[in-house]
Amino acid sequence: MKNNLKLWQFGGFVFTSVLGTLLHFAYEWSGNLPLLAPFVAVNESIFEHIKLLYFPALIFSVAQWFLGGKEFNNFWCAKLIGAIVGIIIIPTLYYTYTGALGEFADWFNIAIFFIAAGGTYLTEYFILKGNKSRFNEGLCLALLLVIGCVFITLTYLPPHIPFFADPVTGKYGI
């Protein structure tokens, strides 16, 4: 895997982009199946769009780990930092452009998702390439999974703040 790291990271970008796009519609396609809700977008809030990046990237990370990720001393730390970068990019770009323009455009929201996915996998690439870790891999994996648990919890119990509100309907969560 070390020799094909660029290809692996590009594959992760494509996987996350395609699966994240499909998961945007999965809740509606499933007939609003509550058990699917934590892993897909249940509305158009910024929070729900971040889930579309996080869960496909996590799935790819697990597969990547079993297919050669163990070669890296910093695999889970790279994945944690990459996820955090992607999680930060989405609201930062969204709130920056909507604050500047006063409105939002669907095409730009889609572009933000792809930019965040690219930022995630580029960050991971540069960290994995160095193959050095200053952090405990077990702790990084645990924190990555805690983020997933937070997403699941907040899907069912979203705070009533704009970050969790559907800008179209004004509703929160399911």
- In this prediction the pTM is 0.91
- pLDDT (tens digit, 9 = 90+) per residue, 70-81? 899 899 999 999
- Opening angle at CA 52, ends 168 and 15, nearest 5: 140
- Cα-based torsion angle of the residue sequence 98, 89, 60, 72 in order, rounded to the nearest 10 degrees: 170
**Using CA atoms, how far apart are residues 45 and 5, in angstroms rounded to an integer?**
33
DSSP string, 87-99: HHHHHHHHHHHHH
- pLDDT (tens digit, 9 = 90+) per residue, 156-172? 999 999 989 988 888 88
Cα–Cα distances in Å, from 85 out to 39, 54, 122, 147? Answer: 19, 11, 10, 13
- pLDDT (tens digit, 9 = 90+) per residue, 20-32? 999 999 999 999 8
